[in-house]
Chain A
């Protein structure tokens, strides 16, 4: 069984990413809490993965040969939920239940309740380990699907990431592609030359170099350039005998000018004025609001 054969263009994916940012902001505003900066840095790549890369079937989310996706940076859950909803796993209007009691859309991904969530995650670094296990399981069971895992750059502070990076290279796991969302800001992070100025946990080439040092094949790309990202993943799939890290350079809060690169938008609810301005910048002419 394979998915319906509808082919999406990079322009379609960009439009889904735009819609996702609108829905993310609506959901966070409705819930009165949630993350914005990380979901926005990931949105273009998630749109590319779900509409242009992964072999999945929203009608049959537990299909055994589907490609797997693990959002190891689980606090960006609303970005994943939004993409799953746009892809047809559940109704878009359900996004407004985000973070409420009894909702299928919990603060961090829960594989036991949300259709399309392949692995629970959120305690940082754990999703990455589980994704490696999925890839190893695929090899053990003779299945040729690909496992995609998205890891945050701040998340790479966690030691378990490097435990897994070592083991994956030892096994030459070439059926896993790690997308590293290198948005260069953490929730609090390291202070630069002023309190407001926060700097990346990994300066310059440090992050890509670390993955290379662990014997991963590294591809660097602009995570907001969808055609370039699609090419990077295409190249990653061709690599044999090594796991691949797509180190995606992104901007935290990408898509809304006053959120971009501001660490305070890691997790923040927009007020009415900010929301209206953001909707305008995201091209939502009706002012947004579900």
Chain B
């Protein structure tokens, strides 16, 4: 079993990367909803104060203003705040002003998932992926580590259209080498295996990888596919990877209803019906607490992922 190196939080990698990209791209502007020191777009603010717009604690307005800015001079507004205040609170602004006209606004969704720094259920949005992937014209990207975050942001800025970009808060294991290239809309095989195909997305993929390494010791050979672009889903790769083993487990730090698991199950039901287990956050709201305790209570720590896979394989072997 290899030990993964701990890397930076994705929010930090994002703040650094957009600052780097801004050196060669004077169209990038950042709008903040008074969370910059948390979401780390303060890194950009310090480098480019004249391209940083504080719009206050008023997210519906902020997303609307970003849409307006995107119609002038090919500006590329990057909007940053917590996931709940983007995908939930400002949903109407995104739907009408950004997604419907397909404007080039990038939504940096900070503190996404379960581990949001002792904030509790008001700030935890388990259903951000279902909400955003159900919206026409929206692209949904969930990178796994700082390496992929940097590469993905380059692609996301090059892409002309709205993107929901999911970022976590805490330090995050690095699973990819520096030569890893993110390709928009492409799934990536992280571990080759023959017993069961596991799909994961976002930083949770590193937990799935740890689970796969544990299971290898128990004689279960996991084929692990990382799906950084949940929408558009890489359906061909998903179907091929699923057919390789004939058994599928999805796992995610998000609700199992309509998230990655929902997307995979929809595709497989249509193109390659087979047994599928959706693992992740259940039909519940969250709570505040230390990361480790939350992962345990909500059943998505690496041992929980391993148990879910082991049980599913045992039932279907």
Contact = CB atoms under 8 A, between A and B. Distances in A.
A137 B92 contact: no
Nearest to B61: A163
B184 to A, nearest CB: 22
B100 to A, nearest CB: 6
A129 B100 contact: no
B60 A129 contact: yes
A120 B103 CA distance: 11
A137 B72 CA distance: 6
Contacts of A120: 96-97, 100-101
A114 to B, nearest CB: 11
Nearest to A113: B101
Interface residues of B, number: 29
Interface string B44-65: 0000000101011010110111
Interface residues of A, number: 34
A159 B95 CA distance: 18
Contact of A140 (B56, B72, B102): B72
Chain A contact residues, majority secondary structure: helix
Given A160-B60, A163-B56, A163-B61, A140 B75 contact: yes
A243 to B, nearest CB: 13
Query: For B64, B73, B93, which residue has the most chain A Cβ atoms within 10 angstroms?
Result: B64
Nearest to B56: A167
Contacts of B72: 64, 134, 137-138, 140-141, 143
A164 B59 CA distance: 10
B95 to A, nearest CB: 8
A132 B51 contact: no
Contacts of B100: 110, 112, 120
A87 interface: no
Interface of B: 29, 51, 53, 55-56, 58, 60-61, 63-73, 75, 77, 92-93, 95-97, 100-102
5 contacts: A123-B95, A126-B92, A132-B68, A141-B73, A160-B60
